Amino acid sequence: MSVSYQINCQGQLLTLSSPVVMGIVNVSPDSFYDGGKFNDETNILPHVEQMLLEGAAIIDIGAVSSRPGSKYITAEEEIKRLIPAVKLIHHHFPAAVLSVDTSSADVAKLAIENGASIINDISAGEFDSMMFETIARLQVPYIMMHMQGTPQTMQQNPFYENVTLEIIRFFVKRLEKLRSLGVKDIIIDPGFGFGKTVQYNYELLASLRSFEMLDCPLLVGVSRKAMINKVLHTKPEEALNGTTVANTIALMNGANILRVHDVKEAVEAVKIVNELRRPNKEIILN
């Protein structure tokens, strides 16, 4: 059974006694699956509305592609793409919990000031030395992900002696620094596909329970990624079934948050796993 956590999202408590689903909104033109689909309000708002109706507890907005080999963009360009989308979504869905996918402290600050309440940082503070201090000042939940290298280099022969142990050690050091600054709500993401081979990704998926020792909610993002497509010989557009299978395994192994492109299917996976865990189930013989 997953450990129960609560995170304070700008005064709104999000309870993780049951796993929740985070829906992805990419406003970057070059994301690996849906790049360029959501670049103005006529596309963004119906997409967000659908995800909320389907049961998304968090909407995660990103303006920088982190696919392997993606190009670096400046903070100014990121702000130009991101902040209008955050304002737009917050205005139309003021009760929605918004997360912003950024590794820039300046972008994080602006996003929080304009309606976001969670920062999701793929670099765990390593790309911007001011990120941890900024999060401490803002006092918002912080998702930190593990990545070996950068998006430009991460898939160039990644290597680990013990992938799970090395990532846990990485998080222990980062958690110590964050907690010393007074950051309370910290979520960890092992970083599937970020500097990991297919084999390393599945080793991580099988050993997710090991991360419980860190006493933080666990986010898993495997949606339509290469770790699925390389096994099934599919393209991202064809990877929904494989994603649902991987998400279900993640839930069985203790995931608290699923970050996905397809909310309805992920919510259904949560419901099935919750039913399996429900105590005192009656045995019905047909």
Active site residues: 225, 259
Packing angle, helices 198-206 and 163-180, rounded to 10: 70
Contact 248, 12 (CB under 8 A): no
**DSSP notation for 114-153:** TT--EEEETTTTSS-TTHHHHHHHHT--EEEE--SS-TTT
Neighbouring residues of 278: CB distance < 8 A, sequence distance ≥ 6:
none
Closest CA to 86 of 76, 77, 96, 75: 96
Structure tokens at 96: 């929605």
Structure tokens at 59: 């909407």
Q: First vs last Cα of the chain: how many Å apart?
A: 28
Query: What are 109-112's contacts with CB under 8 Å, separation 24+?
Result: 109/134, 109/138, 110/79, 110/83, 111/82, 111/83, 111/86, 112/10, 112/138, 112/140
Q: What is the dihedral of CA 72, 74, 79, 80, to 10 degrees?
A: -90
Closest CA to 107 of 132, 124, 131: 131
